[in-house]
Chain A
Amino acid sequence: MNKPKPYSDMPLRNRDIKVIVNAGLARRHAAEQRFRWYGLTAISLGLIFVVLMFGSIIAKGLPAFWQTYIQVPIAFDAATLDPQGTRDPQALASADYNALVRSGLRQLFPNIEGRLELRALYGLTSTDAAYELQRQVQQNPDLIGSNQAIWLLAAAPVDTFIKGNIDRALDEAERPIKNNQIEWLDQLQGAGKIEKQFNTVLFGNGDSREPEQAGIRGALMGSFFTLLVTFLLSFPIGVATAVYLEEFAPKNRWTDIIEVNINNLAAVPSIVFGLLGLAVFINFFGLPRSAPLVGGLVLSLMTLPVIIIAGRAALTSVPPSIREAALGMGASKLQMVGHHVLPLAMPGMLTGSIIGMARALGESAPLLMIGMVAFIVDVPKNFLDPATVLPVQIYLWSDLPERAFVERTSAAIMVLLAFMILMNGLAIILRKRFERRW
């Protein structure tokens, strides 16, 4: 077969379309294949990012759920703790528990002498160790006078070292743990006096400057109070707005304005809501800074559009026949909504609200504006106590250079993500269970 002449040179009647198409087919199919590959690559890239992010955070955060403890023989010496023998709680509270920890450590390594060496030795346990002993004695004063082997919280560098995150080969000056300490730790480990226990501190403490004593309980409680305010405000108002717009509102300019407003609010950057909170709630109304109440107010303004939009979708999915039947039986419009439409739309509304709450739980930028970013050790007890929330705690910790804090930050992120998965899962279950096709 002759090679076909270029298309344009041929007289019209001679154009053999089949030949022309066939000639381009290989190229076109290759292009088709390439295009397919681009698409597949794009999706895999997105999925790889998901896996990578979860993987890196879990890999960093998982060790934080265990914490290193050192077993130290403690002599609850009556002369130090309770010289008068009165067991007076005041005296027990102010006794020198540090001395007990120190003598216990010296008992482990009786050969160590010299100020520097001793200081390195005392640095093995956390400053919390003394408080731990105090708590035990206050709980059980009968300990006084006895000898006990007690697991004491190790200091953060020791914890990091035991978890294998400090390289022994590194120059001594460059690592937070010194040669002699490594030697002692090896001895202790050989003797089975070092153990990793479940990290109760992480869930039981507020924030702290010492990584091994820092926990997320304060942030969790702060998040709880903030979200409670958010839910109590945004759910009723959101549902009421959705009901009004869907069932009662006349179609006029005013309703249009409200609708446009809601759609725009849904797209306003969250930080602008923070500015609003700062200018209105704190400066104008004089509410206290850092309070979960203000945080909840700001977040509820932010979540409202989400709940309203979801609520309206849920209301429109209820078929009009239900409304007509209720009205036909002589119900008033409000009875029709309250007795029939709202109960049927409720699962959808709840699903939307839970998703909105999950978003509010992860929000941090507006809360930075209203001062929920302070270093707060105490666990908040009510809506006006200074508090921080979980994502802001993550932000605060992520700034700290210690390896132990990196670990804790990742662990806090895992807790946050767990809550978000829980809430979204609940929303999905609700939807699956109560979704009705009419």
Chain B
Amino acid sequence: MQSFLLLTLILLSVSAYYLGRKRALAVAGGQIRNLHSLPSFYGSYTALWCGLPALIVFGVWITLQPNFLIDLVVAGLPPELRDLSPERLNLLVNDLKNQVSGSFVSSAPDPVMVEAVNRYQNLRAIGNTALWIAVLSFAVGGIAYAWRRISPTLRARNRVETAVNVFLIASSTVAIFTTIGIILSVAFESLRFFNQVPITEFLFGLQWSPQTALRADQVGSSGAFGAVPLFAGTLLISGIAMLVAVPIGLMSALYLSEYATPKFRAFAKPALEILAGIPTVVYGFFAALTVAPLIREIGAALGLHVASESALAAGLVMGIMIIPFVSSLSDDVINAVPQSMRDGSYALGATKSETIKRVLLPAALPGIVGSILLAVSRAIGETMIVVMAAGLSANLTANPLEAVTTVTVQIVTLLTGDQEFDSPKTLAAFALGLMLFVVTLLLNIIALHVVRKYREQYE
């Protein structure tokens, strides 16, 4: 229905383009040189006047209509229903929406509700017709306006270019709005969370069990929001990951840039970078179904008790995932070290490995540290591997063979499934998200700063 309207609008705009062009040629008496701009600009001018206002009306209408209709229907309900508490009313409205969309029919259709549903459907039909009329009249009105305005002196190119410019500038602000949106959405909910749970308890508490009581008389649901076990778990798993990724990634980068023949490099570098392209859910599957049982069996053979969702399995696989980040960033850094420094070292009689250890690495150290920091931030924010392979139990332990949980795992478990949005349980997820956002942002800023500063040194 609405997509059909949009299609009509597009067709109208296309015809407006040709109309405008024809009109421009007509007012110029067929002589293009009489016109201020090329005829196609007059066409685009008409098309813009046809499409843009109508599109704006369409967008505003579509966003406002559902709530407006609900308000109208609620106003038409009998007074005893209208005066319910806001939450009950909300439930009622949800029920209404469900019945309208036909996805769920409540067991005993209440005659009042049936009437309300009918009313809603009638109003919606009226609203949709009005939408068609409004959008089409705006489109046709736009064409008529542009038609009248077109004259040989109309600066059509400038008008069209202004419109395009506005679009370009608006597009470039999307990134800013995204950042603002992230900060606002996480910060707002976090503030609400810290109103219910003191921030000191969240940051320093050692107990994490985010079960809040739905009813006052429920047992065993005190709810503890001390996030230290989560931070510790995240650090443990990221630490294991870095223990895997840093040596392997760094050594690979050194070998590829200093020792490998061009042929070998051309094969091995993209092959290693495949690891960066594999979706993380695949790593998670691999960790949970292949690596974790393997580690458990090895542990059992050695007489160790290994939890079935050990931190080791998740950390190992995450480390594999991060190898290409470390290696390709370090590779860039190592290649940026000037050849003259290598040559100087060789001239003094140093072997290749000595040159690497005594000259290259110290020179490239800041860049390497930066790349490792970037990799750490990647590990901290990684979600799917830990959701699938690490556990849910918030143990405060440094033993990699036990199950730990991480910040991202908790965000996912707190927010998937149905729950009311205002409970501390769901708000806690946003507080964790805030922590995650701040920490990764800081790591990135530091890392980029370090890398940039270092690069300038040799350029």
Contacts and interface: CB of A to CB of B under 8 A. Distances in A.
Interface stretch (B128-136, B179-187, B393-401): B179-187
Contact of B280 (A240, A280, A301, A364): A364
A243 B176 contact: no
B167 A240 contact: yes
A261 B176 contact: yes
Interface residues of A, number: 86
Nearest to B356: A35
Interface string B234-271: 00000000000001111110111001000000001001
B456 to A, nearest CB: 17
A258 B172 contact: yes
Contacts of B281: 362, 364, 391-392, 394-395, 398, 413
Given A56-B286, A280-B185, A264 B444 contact: yes
Interface in B339-393: 349, 351-354, 356-357, 374, 377, 380-384, 387-388
A39 B63 contact: no
Nearest to A394: B281
B295 to A, nearest CB: 14
Given A39-B252, A271-B411, A395-B281, A248 B175 contact: no
Interface in A253-303: 257-258, 261-265, 267-276, 278-280, 283, 285-286, 301
A280 to B, nearest CB: 5
Contacts of B186: 272, 275-276, 279
A262 B433 contact: no
B255 A40 contact: yes
Contact of A363 (B171, B279, B289, B440): B279
A85 B374 CA distance: 73
A407 B63 CA distance: 44
A415 B173 CA distance: 37
Interface string B283-309: 111101110000000000000000000
Main secondary structure of the interface of B (DSSP, over half): helix
Given A36-B255, A39-B254, A45 B384 contact: no
Contact of A398 (B168, B169, B279, B285): B285
Contacts of B254: 39
A32 interface: yes
A220 interface: no
B179 A265 contact: yes
A387 interface: no
A21 B348 CA distance: 12
Contacts of B252: 39, 42-43, 46
A99 interface: no
Given A29-B351, A244-B172, A267-B374, A334 B437 contact: no
Given A21-B349, A267-B374, A409-B285, A43 B272 contact: yes
Interface in A348-398: 358-359, 361-365, 368-369, 371, 373, 391-392, 394-395, 398
Contacts of A38: 251
A245 B189 CA distance: 33
Contacts of B172: 240-241, 244-245, 249, 258
Contacts of A413: 281-282, 285
A191 interface: no
Interface in A40-55: 40-43, 45-47, 49-50, 53
A371 B412 CA distance: 11
Interface stretch (A121-129, A164-172, A321-329, A416-424): A416-424
A267 B188 CA distance: 22
A420 B412 CA distance: 25
Contacts of B324: 46
Main secondary structure of the interface of A (DSSP, over half): helix
A315 interface: no
B209 interface: no
A398 B383 contact: no
Interface string A393-407: 011001000000010
Contacts of B173: 258
Which one of B175, B380, B429 has the greatest number of beta carbons of chain A within 10 Å?
Answer: B175
A83 interface: no
B278 A395 contact: no
Contacts of B259: 36, 39
B436 interface: yes
Interface stretch (B14-22, B104-112, B157-165): B157-165
B144 interface: no
Contact of B279 (A39, A269, A416): A416
B58 interface: no
Nearest to A393: B281
Which one of A47, A248, A273 has the greatest number of beta carbons of chain B within 10 Å?
Answer: A47
B166 to A, nearest CB: 11
Nearest to A269: B381
A46 B275 contact: yes
Contacts of B382: 269
Which one of B178, B249, B272 has the greatest number of beta carbons of chain A within 10 Å?
Answer: B178
Given A39-B259, A240-B168, A272-B186, A332 B278 contact: no
B138 interface: no
Nearest to B164: A334
A304 B388 contact: no
B288 to A, nearest CB: 6
B441 A264 contact: yes
B416 interface: yes
A305 B172 CA distance: 11
Interface in A209-240: 236-238, 240
Given A42-B255, A248-B168, A264-B441, A271 B436 contact: yes
Interface of B: 63, 66-67, 157, 161, 164-165, 167-169, 171-176, 178-179, 181-182, 185-186, 188-189, 247-252, 254-256, 259, 268, 271-272, 274-275, 277-286, 288-290, 320, 323-324, 327, 349, 351-354, 356-357, 374, 377, 380-384, 387-388, 408, 411-412, 415-416, 421, 429-430, 433, 436-437, 440-441, 444-445, 448
5 contacts: A46-B252, A50-B272, A261-B179, A362-B282, A413-B282
Given A31-B354, A394-B282, 7 more contacts: A42-B252, A261-B178, A280-B185, A301-B174, A369-B416, A394-B285, A398-B289
Interface of A: 21, 28-29, 31-32, 34-36, 38-43, 45-47, 49-50, 53, 56-57, 60, 236-238, 240-241, 243-245, 248-249, 257-258, 261-265, 267-276, 278-280, 283, 285-286, 301, 304-305, 308, 332, 334, 358-359, 361-365, 368-369, 371, 373, 391-392, 394-395, 398, 406, 409-410, 413, 416-417, 420, 424
**What 3 pairs between A and B have smallest CB-CB spacing?**
A269-B381, A39-B255, A362-B279
